[in-house]
Structure 1
Amino acid sequence: MASCLCRYRRRIILFCSPCILLLPVCIYVMIAMSYVMKHGDTGGYAGPGTYVSTVSLPLLPDRFIARGLKRSRDLAPHPEKSFWRSELESGALWNIIQYMMDRQRNPILSPNLTIETSSNLERSKSENGCSPNSNIDITMPDFLTLPTQMKNFVRTMHCRDYAIIIDPSDVCNHGPLAKKWAPMLLLAIKTQTANFENREAIRETWGRSGRIKTRDGQLKIVRRVFLLGKSKSRQHEEKLQLESKKYGDILQWEFTDAFFNLTLKDVLFWEWFSRRCPHARFIFKGDDDVFVRTPAVLDYLQAVEANESLSDESKNMESFVIGDVIHNAAPIRTNNTKYFIPESFFKGLYPSYPGGGGVVYSGSLAHRLLEVSQRVHLFPIDDVYLGMCLRRLGVYPVHHPAFLTFDFPKDEPKEPCANHTILLVHKRSPAEMFKLWFETLIPSPECRNATLRVKPRPD
């Protein structure tokens, strides 16, 4: 009996051993067939040396979001904290609105919102709601105590698309030679309808349009345009229409011309510039009560373009902005000044910005400012708003002592040739503009070799 069992056990072992070895292979084949039936074939033969993949794999997202802290020897560590703040510390109205805009336009936090979709969203908001927003009153606890200009701004700050009333189409050349004959300098001057004398003085002095001779005798093309909103005076508006027909340099939009609406002149001008004068190499944007030594500005800009130290000229030109730069400025909380910004509207320090009396930047930067301005909510002070846009672009404005937007320092003795050392000075009346123009146009022998100011502005 024992010998019989031994004989059968040997047979069982001989029979089962191959089955045991083949069992994993059978399981693998079954799994593979199940996968193919579910997902399709992984590939196919398409000719000699050619293999075409037919697997329908899920598409990977363009960007990944860290799901939490992981410690792994094989994987890079995820950050312990989130990339973006989930809550906003400030309760100021502008800060809240800008924070919401940033989150909506963040490609990771809102992956389905493309740039085109986002732009259309903002445009539809503006077009469908450009009447004053009375519901916003309740968002500021001190709204009823605010000055009128602040109330008006808050109620309409969602509007930035306004129709053009007067459009000077011949400021810059058009057609196939537009780039060749583009102005070296485009003067964009903020003014109001009632300031006829200022505009006349500018046209006859530093704001002349055409071929302007530099201090070294070269001829450069300069063009001029005045930026305006609407006034309440019908008489002034009718006179402005006649002025526009005579000079062709009036650019007017359908918004009320007010101090807190100067920011609109910036964003709307950038849009106009991109259509009407896109090839201008430099832009001067300033007030109508400044005096500019235009020939000296042209000399300076010509030197900037010819500077051989600019290894990447296009990149540097896209970031070129110069003026009287103000750093670490805080909002003025005194409500009896026109610059008053309540704490309920904005909290924080202002970014570095060039004073609005006069600033020069490149035409290529203006195109970038137009794009970034769509992502920065309107702010009531135009030069601060420019600083906000520059910061978003990673552009740092350069301070130049020859831009005197606050006039000559009172404690500084004025030398006989002081007016020959500046690029701009603020404020000057029409009569003073004529006087300075004739004084600086043909320098006296002792002032002929005067150089630009290098003394820094006292803090």
Structure 2
Amino acid sequence: MKRWGTRILLTGGLFWLFHTMKLKQRETLQADPGPGPGSVELPDGTITFRLDSAAFWAEFPQLQSYRCRELVPGDGICTGPPGPPLLLLAVKSHPASSARRATARRTWARPGVLGGYRVRAVFLVGVSPEPRHMALLEEESEEFGDVVLWDFTESHHNLSLKERCFLRWVGARCGQADFIFKGDDDEFVNPPALVSYLRQTPNASHVIHGNIQRHAAVMRTTKYRVSSALFPQAKYPDFPSGGGFLMPSASVPALATASERIPVFPLDDVYFGFLVLASGLRYRHDARFRVYGMKDELCLYGEAFVVHGVSLDRVEEVWRGLYEERRCSVTGPVLS
């Protein structure tokens, strides 16, 4: 009998699962507080960034106190006999996004071997209060075995917890990964182009690759707003656009260590930038990690590594046109 199904039947229904999730979340938020008040200073050669831990605890205590707890640990995602180097596609997703995950699995997130790399996807998910969404996620996890579920609730600010918890998960459960692509489920990803890029880039394992935002301005309005009390400075450190970037596994230990002393910033891509700065790691910018603004032309997708904000139907059309119908002269390996 299925793992989740057994637990649900033995405890009287799906309600028990959600009740347990909420209890675990409250316990987690109350337990084991992180670093106490203090200030962290991070110079980047141009600006010295200051993070006041007391301000983060005052405004976002739930981000600082949370300790990563997996409800679905994803034990088997990276297991297997020794073989080609592993490119792990780590995809931030929401329990409600079952259609997006299904499209990804049919197209760019299919497991296989590609140009000398083993490609495997993992979907990084928090908890939804909607039982129907969680039931669908349970079925997916049982069928595909590619879900990691933590016991925090999905929200805009809690995306930073996915960054923090994912670093621990990789270190503990996926040491086999050689490179990790971090992205979202609402985009087109091009693993053949990523593999070609890795094979052609000298010292690819020494830097973090992405569309690097250089000293982006701090927003005080919109959903990306940050208060002056939390972060009074006008500029952020450099960070890779959260829509998609590549990191070598060699960077994970330093990033995980940095996450132990850096307050959890409420914007996930900026938070990652602080971790990179604290770790002393370097970037390599490449515009083929598209954020927005690319013309919607099939052959341009073949040149891109990732294109953010693509509809599900268009993802299917692009994948079919590039790699099944071969309507563009795309150079690169084919997934097998």
For normalisation by structure 2, the TM-score amounts to 0.78
Matched, 1:364 2:269: no
Partner of 2:303: 421
Partner of 1:302: 199
The one-letter amino acid of 2:210's match is G
Partner of 2:156: 259
Q: Deviations over 1:211-230 (max 9, x none)?
A: 23xxxxx3421111100111
DSSP-derived class of the 1:158 partner: helix
**Shift, 1:443, TM fit:** 6.9
Q: Deviations over 1:356-391 (max 9, x none)?
A: 011111011122211111111100011101111111
Aligned length, in residue pairs:
285
Conserved? CA contact 1:185–1:221, under 8 Å: yes
Calculate the aligned-residue CA RMSD, in Å: 2.6
Conserved? CA contact 1:183–1:223, under 8 Å: no
Pick the structure with more strand per residue. Answer: 2
Over the matched positions of the two proteins, sequence identity in percent amounts to 31
**Shift, 1:394, TM fit:** 2.0
Conserved? CA contact 1:173–1:181, under 8 Å: no
Q: Deviations over 1:270-312 (max 9, x none)?
A: 11111111121100011101101111111111223xx3xx5xx
Partner of 2:117: 220
Query: Which structure 2 segments of 5+ residues have no match?
Result: 1-34, 42-53
Partner of 2:67: 161
**Shift, 1:241, TM fit:** 1.2
Conserved? CA contact 1:171–1:248, under 8 Å: yes
- Cα distance in 1 between the residues matched to 2:241 and 2:200: 23
Partner of 2:11: none
Where relative contact order (Cα < 8 A, 6+ residues apart) is larger, the structure is 2
- Cα distance in 2 between the residues matched to 1:344 and 1:301: 41
Partner of 2:227: 342
Partner of 1:275: 172
- Cα distance in 2 between the residues matched to 1:342 and 1:425: 30
Q: 1:33-48, aligned counterparts within 5 Å?
A: none
- Cα distance in 2 between the residues matched to 1:419 and 1:157: 36
Matched, 1:100 2:2: no
- Distance change in 2, residues 1:400/1:100 (3 Å): same
Conserved? CA contact 1:98–1:377, under 8 Å: no
DSSP-derived class of the 1:260 partner: coil
Query: Which structure 1 segments of 5+ residues have no match?
Result: 1-96, 104-134, 141-150, 213-217, 311-315, 451-459
Q: 2:105 aligns with which of 189, 196, 203?
A: 203
Partner of 1:13: none
- Cα distance in 2 between the residues matched to 1:327 and 1:162: 30
- Cα distance in 2 between the residues matched to 1:232 and 1:446: 44
Larger radius of gyration: 1
Conserved? CA contact 2:321–2:328, under 8 Å: no
The one-letter amino acid of 1:320's match is V
- Cα distance in 1 between the residues matched to 2:248 and 2:293: 24
Conserved? CA contact 2:299–2:322, under 8 Å: no
* Runs of 4+ in structure 1 over 2 Å off: 180-184, 413-417, 442-450
